[in-house]
Structures are given as C-alpha cells and as structure tokens.
A = this chain, B = another copy of it.
C-alpha cells in the first residue's frame, strides 16, 4: 500500500505534525522511512493513532498506552484491562452524576445564599471529604 507522509497523517488524524514527532520520540509510533527529510508512514499508523486517541479518551496516559501497543504494530490489549477501565469510567460517571444533581438542586435552592443551602453544604462537605481521602 502507498506510503503516506507526515502531512497526510496529520490531515487524516487531526493531530499536529509536532504531536506525531512527539509520539515518535516517546516510542508510540515510528515512520517507515523518509522522502527527503519528510517522514513517511505505513497507513497502518492511522489505526495505531486511532487506538492512541481512544486510549487517551478512556483516560489512559501515553505511557500506559505504550504498554498496550506491541512493538510490532499489533495491539495487545488485555480484555480484562478493558473491562477494568470500563469499570473505572463507570465510577467516575457516578461521581460526576452525583455532582451534577447536587449542582442542579443548588441552582434551584431557595435558601438566601449558597452558604445556607443545605444541599450545597452537603455537596461541599462531600468534596472536602474526597480531598481528605485522596491525601492518604
């Protein structure tokens, strides 16, 4: 299949060329060669980059993503890890949902100020509690 250059990869993925070079520097992707100075890639890199984008969206760091990508270009993702990450996202969602509901109630609350609103007070205390637990 025809090689594509870095400009084309950038265009098709929406990632800046500097980002692609950065990903290369940290070992996430690799060009096949050069045309002049210009990096050229196997189009398969687009799959790899889509996987990286997915990982980022799921909250993995680039280092973690690196650990999931085989050096050969193949993906090797533990299905268990996927499920675990889905569960982690689910926990995040539940926290955010509670927060959203609290904010909505606080927005409707008739207490004279947010300081006096009981719902808001509970929310605040819960937030501090999380901060305190996070410390340990």
A interface residues (Cβ-Cβ under 8 A, vs B): 13-16, 47, 49-51, 53-54, 56-58, 74-75, 77, 79-80, 82-83, 85-86, 89-90, 92-93, 95-97, 99-101, 103-104, 106-108, 113-115, 123-125, 127-135
Q: Which residues does chain B contribute within 8 Å of A124, judged by CB atoms? A: 47, 50-51, 53-54
Of all chain B residues, the one with the shortest Cβ separation from A73 is B115
Q: Which residues does chain B contribute within 8 Å of A51, judged by CB atoms? A: 114, 124
- How far is A21 from B13 in the complex, measured between Cα atoms in Å? 43
> Does B53 lie within 8 Å of A127, measured CB to CB?
yes
**A57-B130, A83-B104, A103-B83 as given contacts; A75 in contact with B115, CB under 8 Å:** yes
Q: How many copies does the complex hold?
A: 2
Q: How far is the CB of A111 from chain B (nearest CB, A)?
A: 11
Q: Which residues does chain B contribute within 8 Å of A114, judged by CB atoms? A: 51, 75, 77
Q: Which residues does chain B contribute within 8 Å of A75, judged by CB atoms? A: 113-115
Of all chain B residues, the one with the shortest Cβ separation from A85 is B103
